[in-house]
A and B are shown apart, each in its own frame.
Chain A
């Protein structure tokens, strides 16, 4: 395998940030440019960070990789695979240029999310360039660490609004010996949701699940013995793996340009009650709806039950994310200002501009 390029451009980035900070400007942080659709659209001077690349430390027996944020996700995953390891949260790439920084900033996870954990769960530490152009280290390179507020994990999903993620330490997990996909028939979404949640009460080696068009698919991952035993007891038909296609959204469900809504709800929630094509992942916690719907009323309906909806595609004129209650929004804006007092980073990307 080709070596991952190593280049430390932290000093240049710090200089650029300090210059922008001094002139009262704004920047838009750009890594691989594969996830610009996620979050509110913004226009600002691009701050290119993908060249800040290289593995800083990777000893497979420590189960931790420390690397610069410009490393390409595909190359890092190939390196992990050589050592029979992987990222447990199965991050989507959405393009070959995807970087580690973008993975953390967007915080998107794939089919394994509900079973192995989120991007945030695996981040152990980060180095961040703040709005003053100062590089700060939070967290560390070890699994257990409670020194200081856990800022590195809160960077996950911050969409670059708190600063430039320069480096990260991320926990990795061993690759599984065995994986198999099983198919089961469930005519209605509600049947699938009930079934998959009931299965959760037993220690089955489930690593992904989905429902679409009357069919439930289940992925089992683990040791040879564990998977074989679970398969024997669960039954079902052996099926082709849809997981890569779900992870990268190349599955036919996602094709086209109709509005696409990502609905997040507590997994055992009842049916969303839309007469639209639907795909359910994460044991019921992530539900995709394709087609026309009024996202504002959906948001209002699910919010009291712990749900929220993201305008993933389409929904022109609507905020991308579920608006926060006023008190929380105020707190979150204060947090942004504490890292980035002059509001130079990705302004308006996470919260619509005031």
Chain B
């Protein structure tokens, strides 16, 4: 699109948005070129910063009339390029809609605007003994609107669920600029349940402008025990045994040796750097309950062959144990010029198979991999260490990542547990879903957005894109799924 049309469009939006809330200067637009997946960059035509629902409706009405693609954006922390701009479109940033509108303590719900940060919700309701459960590791920065778009998880999912399980309502602006409300505070509603479709839809079905979140009482007591292992397989078996005892930990995380070393070097959490794996297991509930369960977990860990178990002595040490895990990504970032985070989920029983597969692939590609694992829910984050300055190394890294995700699918898992498909995993979507399944996704999207203006080109690949992707993945002279029709 020409400079002329950029100017014209900016002028149109400035009829109802403050001058500074329409960004049209290339130097300022540069800040929106990418999200947390910085390997992909694109400059949008404009960035719009509405301050209320009415402005979002108007923006969508203008874009609908003029057929302008719209990429909505929260805090820009997506790791899958979900908020990558469209060159011919606008970025609709919800950052200025960041007010907590209502906290209803008796009903334990809060109504918030999409730009409110995840952690800010818990901070605002702590005085009432309440909190918002999903805690993606970016929770200091990421926004609730983005959490809804991605169905964000975190380390407490096994017990407390994903974003979907912790919200009770949404207001969205449709692609035509109409306000639509889904209210599930009553726990059952007539008609199809639209919330599961909207949550995790990566900004393709509507613009989230208000979120009603469920608040939970803060557990009276939380304690953490660390198990130290000389084999990742044994650590994995321990997780299954804990769950087989009927215990659902508040959080249970595993790290392998490269991840342990990087984290220890960074935050000095007291992790054993010689260990092949550690498990960090948090139990929460009443004091008596937690004391009893900690004992059971320590027994399971020892019976399974843990070299050592360590109980965090106090709250300070509990937070220290967690700090290493929560800073694993930046810790790896310190030891390598670049790293690439993968996000597959596998049935837990496949852990040993998948980890040994990753080791082989790592050797084959000559790229080291550190693994952190939400062990309770099977969500694996291999971190591939690479140097983008070495020609071809990013491409090699992406190929390795793709192979790891293929491994996850083969084991009955999925290509993304919590980071979303975005622009990043479009190819792998062709491996996980058939043409008919992807066609259904497209058909569903068109029910909400017939003109396909919302975040076009993300999350659901086209048939043509899949044909191209599968063409690149000729394996031993055979295309995967040779039975499928191709164009």
- Interface residues of A, Cβ cutoff 8 Å to B: 59-64, 84, 107, 113-114, 117-118, 120-121, 130, 134, 136-138, 140-151, 153-154, 156-158, 162, 173-175, 177, 194, 197-198, 200-203, 205, 222-226, 228-230, 264-268, 282, 285-286, 306-308, 310, 321-324, 327-329, 331-332, 334-336, 338-339, 350-351
Known: A147-B432, A148-B437, A202-B217. A140 touches B412 (CB 8 A): yes
Does the CB pair B196–A117 fall under 8 Å? no
With beta carbons under 8 angstroms apart, the residue of A134, A147, A197 that contacts B416 is: A147
Q: Which 9 residue pairs of A and B lie closest in terms of their CB atoms, listed nearest first?
A: A153-B196, A174-B246, A225-B288, A144-B417, A266-B185, A321-B190, A61-B240, A264-B186, A338-B443
Does the CB pair B187–A144 fall under 8 Å? no
With beta carbons under 8 angstroms apart, the residue of B161, B200, B348 that contacts A150 is: B200
Known: A144-B157, A153-B193. A265 touches B347 (CB 8 A): no
With beta carbons under 8 angstroms apart, the residue of B153, B189, B205, B291 that contacts A264 is: B189
Does the CB pair B437–A266 fall under 8 Å? no
Total A-B Cβ pairs within 8 A? 256
Chosen A-B contacts, 14 in total, with CB atoms closer than 8 Å, are A140-B345, A141-B412, A141-B413, A142-B378, A146-B417, A147-B432, A149-B445, A154-B196, A174-B248, A205-B286, A222-B289, A226-B286, A324-B190, A331-B447
Contact with A along B204-232 (1 / 0, CB 8 A): 01000000000011111000000000000
Known: A136-B434, A146-B418. A286 touches B188 (CB 8 A): yes
Q: Which residues of A contact B397 (CB under 8 A)?
A: none
Known: A118-B187, A143-B157. A201 touches B377 (CB 8 A): no
Does the CB pair A335–B447 fall under 8 Å? yes
Chain A nearest CB: distance from B198 CB in Å?
Answer: 9
Closest chain B residue, CB of each to CB of A139: B414
Does the CB pair B248–A173 fall under 8 Å? yes
A224 CA to B107 CA, complexed, in Å: 28
Q: Which residues of A contact B438 (CB under 8 A)?
A: 148
Q: Which residues of B contact A197 (CB under 8 A)?
A: 106-108
B301 within 8 A of A: no
Q: Which residues of B contact A339 (CB under 8 A)?
A: 440, 443
- Interface residues of B, Cβ cutoff 8 Å to A: 104-108, 128-130, 150-151, 153, 157-158, 161-162, 164-165, 169, 178, 180, 183, 185-194, 196-197, 199-201, 205, 216-220, 240-241, 243-244, 246-248, 285-289, 291-293, 345-349, 374, 376-379, 412-421, 425, 429, 432-434, 436-438, 440-441, 443-448, 459-460
Chain A nearest CB: distance from B422 CB in Å?
Answer: 10
A323 CA to B402 CA, complexed, in Å: 46
Chain B nearest CB: distance from A118 CB in Å?
Answer: 7
Does the CB pair B151–A59 fall under 8 Å? no
Does the CB pair B289–A268 fall under 8 Å? no
Does the CB pair B106–A144 fall under 8 Å? no
Known: A177-B246, A327-B180. A145 touches B192 (CB 8 A): no
Does the CB pair B429–A148 fall under 8 Å? yes
Does the CB pair A203–B187 fall under 8 Å? no
Known: A114-B187, A145-B416. A334 touches B200 (CB 8 A): no
Does the CB pair A285–B440 fall under 8 Å? no
A120 CA to B460 CA, complexed, in Å: 23
Apart from the given pairs A150-B196, A225-B291, 5 other A-B contacts in the complex at a CB distance below 8 Å: A154-B193, A156-B193, A158-B192, A162-B192, A223-B293
Chain A nearest CB: distance from B376 CB in Å?
Answer: 8
Q: Which residues of B contact A153 (CB under 8 A)?
A: 164, 193, 196
Does the CB pair B187–A264 fall under 8 Å? yes
A332 CA to B448 CA, complexed, in Å: 10
Closest chain A residue, CB of each to CB of B293: A223
A243 CA to B240 CA, complexed, in Å: 31
With beta carbons under 8 angstroms apart, the residue of A144, A149, A267 that contacts B418 is: A144
Does the CB pair A198–B246 fall under 8 Å? no
With beta carbons under 8 angstroms apart, the residue of A175, A203, A321, A328 that contacts B220 is: A203
Does the CB pair B289–A225 fall under 8 Å? yes
Chain B nearest CB: distance from A166 CB in Å?
Answer: 14
Closest chain A residue, CB of each to CB of B245: A174
A174 CA to B219 CA, complexed, in Å: 19
A60 CA to B150 CA, complexed, in Å: 29
Chain A nearest CB: distance from B80 CB in Å?
Answer: 9
Chain B nearest CB: distance from A227 CB in Å?
Answer: 9
Does the CB pair B440–A338 fall under 8 Å? yes
Known: A149-B441, A150-B197, A225-B292. A144 touches B286 (CB 8 A): no
Chain B nearest CB: distance from A114 CB in Å?
Answer: 6
Q: Which residues of A contact B346 (CB under 8 A)?
A: 142
